[in-house]
């Protein structure tokens, strides 16, 4: 399945259970690794540049988590009741760890999904 529009439509139409979780995770990876304003056809797609916030750390964490939450709510319709929280980790001061949770918006399933994310010093986001 491709990453283009047809691939996303197919994954949204046929994905259930673990397939839905994998499809949502893949979209969140793409969304969180896209910087606001870098998608010409959708200027609001993406999140603020994390590297711009590094100088205001730790006060910038609330700005970052609010930006991620708003972006997910706007661009990932398969999730509702989204929460983004910081997971402090003293062992690696250069890695920012977050947990993203949300419920499947599908009326048939009310499962809560949780994703652990790590933001590297360069702004690259990994999602598990």
Residue 24 has pLDDT above 90, yes or no: yes
Cα(17)–Cα(61) distance, integer angstroms: 32
Q: Where are the domains of the chain?
A: 5-127
Q: How far apart are the first and last CA of the chain?
A: 21
pLDDT tens-digit map of 63-106: 888 989 999 999 999 999 999 999 987 787 667 899 999 999 88
Residue 13 has pLDDT above 50, yes or no: no
Asked if 33 and 125 count as a contact pair (C-beta separation under 8 A), the reply is: yes
Q: Which residue has the tokens 């319709």?
A: 77
pLDDT tens-digit map of 42-75: 889 998 887 766 555 566 788 888 989 999 999 9
Question: What is the fold of 5-127?
Answer: Nuclear Transport Factor 2; Chain: A, (3.10.450)
pLDDT band at 1 (very low <50, low <70, confident <90, very high): very low
Q: Which residue has the tokens 């979780």?
A: 21
pLDDT band at 19 (very low <50, low <70, confident <90, very high): confident
């Amino acid at each position: 399945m491709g990453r283009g529009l047809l691939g996303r439509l197919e994954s949204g139409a046929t994905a259930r259970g673990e397939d839905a979780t994998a499809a949502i995770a893949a979209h969140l990876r793409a969304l969180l690794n896209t910087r606001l304003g870098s998608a010409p056809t959708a200027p609001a797609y993406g999140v603020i540049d994390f590297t711009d916030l590094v100088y205001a750390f730790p006060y910038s964490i609330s700005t970052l988590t609010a930006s991620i939450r708003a972006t997910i709510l706007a661009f990932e319709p398969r999730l509702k009741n989204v929460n983004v929280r910081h997971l402090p980790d003293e062992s690696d001061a250069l890695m920012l760890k977050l947990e993203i949770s949300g419920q499947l918006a599908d009326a048939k399933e009310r499962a809560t999904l949780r994703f652990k994310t790590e933001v590297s010093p360069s702004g690259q986001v990994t999602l598990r």
